[in-house]
Amino acid sequence: MLRRLLDLFEKSGTVDNNSRKQYQKTSLARGLFLSIRYLLVVLVFCLGTWTVSSPAEAAVNQYVRRYLDVAEPVAIAVDGKGETKLFNGEDLSVGIKLFSQNCQMCHVGGTNLIDPTVSLSLKRLAKATPPRDNLNGFIAFMRQPKTYDGKDDSFSCRKVRESWIPQEEIEKLAAFVIRAAQKGPGWGTEDLF
């Protein structure tokens, strides 16, 4: 717009060549200033993206990140025979969410409000029959709850059907409970009183 005005004034004889050169210098300076400003915006964006945590890290629950020590994927026992499966922070964050939505009312902090003598501590999970300190054992219990000694059906815990929590999700829930039992401070504490 300014250029058109200068052209109009130059044709009418109101603007001399010095004014035109001054405008060109000013336009060059403005263009350079804008280019530098855009370059700075791009640099700040790139550095911010590089230094700020990635979306994957942001999806990790604070409890999982802080207390369960899951900076790298962790191996959770699949069975009592040494087979393991890796779970990352995102997996365990899905697990804690499922636990909060479905289990926490009776098992807050890994305790057992229905039977306080049988918590979700690693020691108690390992001594159950069959042992529940591995994915297969814990998932089998959730799918078909049994008493601690494994002799009878347990009616104090809800049966978790595949249609309710699919296999992939229930593995994450079980992995969260097992990892919390391994690392969570105070998880499954039975000596509350």
Select from 55, 95, 94, 88 the least CA-distant residue to 69.
88
C-alpha 62/C-alpha 64 separation (Å) is 5
Per-residue confidence (pLDDT) for residue 52, from 0 to 100: 42
Tokens of 25: 């210098």
Torsions phi, psi of 77, nearest 5? -60, 135
Give the model confidence (pLDDT) of 2-36 as tens digits.
566 556 556 665 555 665 566 555 665 565 544 55
149 Cβ contact partners less than 8 Å away, ≥ 6 residues apart: 129
pLDDT bracket for residue 43 (50, 70, 90):
very low
C-alpha 125/C-alpha 140 separation (Å) is 13
Give the model confidence (pLDDT) of 89-124 as tens digits.
999 999 999 999 999 999 999 999 998 999 999 999
Is the CB of residue 144 less than 8 Å from the CB of residue 159? yes
Longest Cα separation, the chain: 106
How many CA atoms does the CB half-sphere of 36 hold within 13 Å?
Answer: 6
Per-residue pLDDT for 72 more than 70?
yes
Residue with tokens 């369960």: 68
Per-residue confidence (pLDDT) for residue 36, from 0 to 100: 55
Whether this model's pTM surpasses 0.85: no
